[in-house]
Structure 1
Amino acid sequence: MRRERELIYLVAPSGHPNFGDEFIASAWLRELARRRPRARVVLDCHTPGVAAVLHHRVHPDLTVTDTLWRLAERAETPDDAAAVVADPGRFPELVSGVHLAAHADVVHVLGGGWINDHWPHHTKVVAAAASVGRPQAVRAATGQGLTPATEVAADLAPWWARFDRVDVRDTPSLDVLPAGVDAAVSGDDAWLYAADTVVRHGLGQGTADARDRDFVLCAQSDLLGVPVEQLAQWLLDALRALGATGPRLAVVECIPRGDAVVWDHMRRLDPHLCAGAHFVAFDELWTHGLPARPGQTWVTTRYHPHLIAAARGARGIAVVAHEGPYYQVKHEAVGSSWPVVAVTGSSGTEVPAAGPGFTEGQLRERSELARAVADRIYPVGRLADVVRNTFEALRDKLWAQG
């Protein structure tokens, strides 16, 4: 009797788009194409149309939907979200999607910093994810950044207790999980492919023009705790101190338009320094990957560019210009030797010297931790299975590349 195909149900904040979130989704889809090429994989995210374009053919059998996110949007509380899973007829248009999720063999909440006080409504997504799947389904969460959690920890506690395993990316996140949950600090999901340079779906190494630049800037305008113009001025001072010039500079946009705001201010404040820079728009970034290499110097407020560029041998400075400890915790958890400098409301923050990335031993340790997480959720069995999965993954990769 032929076994029913495995159904893997991924839950993630994909489709905004935000490079870090999409990199994580792409990394897991690529890993599943290698480990589970014959499974049916569902990516449940808030913006499925955009996500379907970004992740097309990364896995050979991918369905993209927004069932749990729409359910969470309409439910009043986490308990109510779980109740809708049990009785989806309350929202008839979601019944088919809920029934699909109910048959999942694996329910996997992908990592990132999206389940915390900044987005309290996401507690309902977690509650829904904890409530779907077959009775014997594996429920796992990986790479989670759960702080700050003053407001949401109590609401999340009963739902985390339903998971077989919760892997977090930093110690403060581990501390907010309830007692009795099988949990560990295993690092960010991006470590699956952070040091790799596969040239598709955000995981590549950038265009030659961007990659050949000696300096790279990534500056966000969301979640800031200082005025945009103050951050722009500090970044200009940093580039001058580092010896950067426009023709030697690339500027990376991780969120379309949002990551151009600070750069636009910089160009107005010092058009001479900025002239000749290569602006890496999100579409170019996703098509060709992060333009990181050894020998570069990075200045970034964003976390995943810090992690990936440092993993690929770049030196850099991580900049915190945000409200609360959210980004401070993230940047420090990367574990590179980049200095983490806080740009606060008071002026006069000195520009530190750029620090190196990781040693070979550190890279190996972090990659092995990420692989161990994948092994636990998606074990690869007999040698015949390994050979078949490798062959089918190679076939699908060649097919996807045309």
Structure 2
Amino acid sequence: MLGGAGVSNFGDEFMVRRWLEFYKEHGLEGELTIDGASAENLSGLFGGIYRKASFVSVFNALKYSGPDNFWESLRRGLNFYDNGGLNNYREFKKWSEKIISTKLMHLHGGGYINEIWPQSAFLLGVAAATKLKYNCKLVGTGIGLLPLSKVPDLYRDEFNKIINTFDFIECRDYDSYLFLKNSVDNADNIFYGLDDTYLAHVDNVSNVDGCNLHISYFSKAKESLHRLLNKLPDEYFNKFSNVYFWECTMQDRECFDIVKAKHPKVKLLDYRDLVLNPLPVNAGDEMITARFHPHLLAARKGVAGYYREDGSYYDVKQGSVVDLGSPFKSIEKITASHISQQAFNRIVSFEDARVAMKRILGARIVEYYKNSN
């Protein structure tokens, strides 16, 4: 399993947790190798729970030794084995046999492959190269690819080859799906699906009293957070039984400190709490968020609230949750009044069906693995 986890980020790690749970249910825990940004971080988070799985950083480590350009990184990944592969990297040669014997490569979900992090394109290219070299199965789930510019003519054939090499690619947002469908010839293996967190229902603490407020912000949006806190009167915060701050990465601590300075009763949930423990969210709670996964997971439990738009990367992500039926509104429309709960909440109403659909996809991957040579 290959992807963007291992950076101590709630969303990426939470998706890996969902797949670890699912594969363990199907008796495959001992067959799993998870390649992430930091083997130490992944092992520290999951190693005590999933003792039979292996956590490494091979392809993720190698992506940083290439060009800082999306399309050149993509090409480098596709040509990786033709240019010597792991034989060029003494510290990684010990993993050669593991890669040669790979029966299935799973590029798991997230929004980590785009031009914000251009070297991540290496993962897309090397995943396809591994299938072409060693004839393994290759799947992608819950993928978000934007922002990404139009495929340059110079790389069009290689991009087509890479995407068509996948047995299937599931896109978690419609914009990424359209990008691939419009960029790739004969793209019958691409479909519009769901975020990887839909592998299971949202675990939540159901005995949290009263109506609670949840806040999730990142440091680049701290000026927006300052303006928001100055706009809302103290009475807005005092009406909640609890105020929780979701620290999705350690960099979010600065925003927690900003909230705490104004409202000392706020409680911190760090990324380990969020990944490993049930979430203290219930229908009737409210949320203010600049982040994607807090919005998605809270909305699925019947929470209403407000999301921040920033005009770029997060607009696609937040918009994809609204497309699923989230009742959240733009933060520009926030008021100090309680949010009236909708009689019909579309994202909640479709929860069971969507989890069932995602698990069918997971079962298809398991079947691929068990039937591979």
Deviates more, 1:14-23 or 1:94-103: 94-103
- Other-structure match for 1:180: 186
Q: What is the match of residue 170 of structure 2?
A: 167
Residue 255 in structure 1 maps to residue 249 in structure 2 = yes
Query: How far 1:290 moved relative to its partner?
Result: 2.4
Cα 1:275–1:38 change in 2 (3 A) is closer
- Counterpart residue number, 1:142: 141
Q: Which ranges in structure 1 are unaligned for 5 or more consecutive residues?
A: 1-9, 198-204, 344-348, 383-402
> Which of 329, 352, 362 is 1:364 aligned to?
352
CA apart distance, 1:371: 1.4
- Structure 2 residue corresponding to 1:314, chosen from 286, 303, 328: 303
Residues 70-149 of structure 1 mapped to structure 2, 5 A cutoff = 70-76=61-67, 77-86=73-82, 87=84, 88-133=86-131, 135-149=134-148
Deviations 1:127-156 (A, max 9, x none): 112222574321000001111111668574
Q: Distance in 2 between matches of 1:355 and 1:116?
A: 36
Give the Å deviation of 1:288: 2.1
Per-residue displacement from partner, 1:259-302 (whole Å, max 9, x unpaired)? 1222323344xx3xx12221223333334232211221111111
- Cα 1:285–1:213 change in 2 (3 A) is farther
Q: Which residue of 1 aligns with 2:202?
A: 196
* CA distance in 2 between partners of 1:213 and 1:220 (Å): 24
SS of the residue corresponding to residue 80 of structure 2 reads helix
Q: CA deviation at 1:249?
A: 1.1
8 Å Cα contact 2:45/2:272 also seen in 1: no
Distance 1:360 1:328 in 2: 22
Shift in Å at residue 376 of structure 1?
2.0
Task: Give, in angstroms, the shift of residue 60 of structure 1.
Answer: 4.8
SS in structure 2 of the partner of residue 121 of structure 1: helix
Structure 1 position 58, deviation (Å): 4.4
User: Partner residue of 1:394?
Assistant: none
After the TM superposition, which of the residue ranges 283-292 and 85-94 deviates more from structure 2?
283-292
**Taking structure 1 as reference, are residues 49 and 21 closer, same or farther at Cα in structure 2, changes over 3 Å only?**
same
**Which SS does the other structure have where 2:112 is aligned?**
coil
- Count of equivalent residues: 348
8 Å contact kept, 1:123–1:152? no
Distance of 1:355 and 1:187 partners within structure 2? 25
Which residue does 2:70 correspond to in 1?
A: none
User: TM-score by structure 2 length?
Assistant: 0.83
Cα distance, 1:248–1:38 mapped onto 2, change above 3 Å: closer
44 and 84 in structure 1: CA distance in 2 versus 1, 3 angstrom threshold: same
More displaced stretch, 259-268 vs 99-108? 259-268
Aligned counterparts of 2:326 and 2:361: Cα–Cα separation in 1? 25
Farther-moved stretch of structure 1 (278-287 vs 300-309): 278-287
Structure 2 CA distance for aligned equivalents of residues 160 and 173 of structure 1: 13
> Which one of 318, 324, 328 corresponds to residue 315 of structure 2?
328
TM-score of the two chains, using structure 1 as the length reference? 0.77
CA contact (8 A) 1:317 1:354 kept: no
CA distance in 1 between partners of 2:330 and 2:265 (Å): 27
CA RMSD across the alignment: 2.9
TM-aligned CA deviation for residue 368 of structure 1: 2.2
Query: Which one-letter code corresponds to 1:282 in the other structure?
Result: Y
- The structure with more helix, counted as a fraction of residues: 2
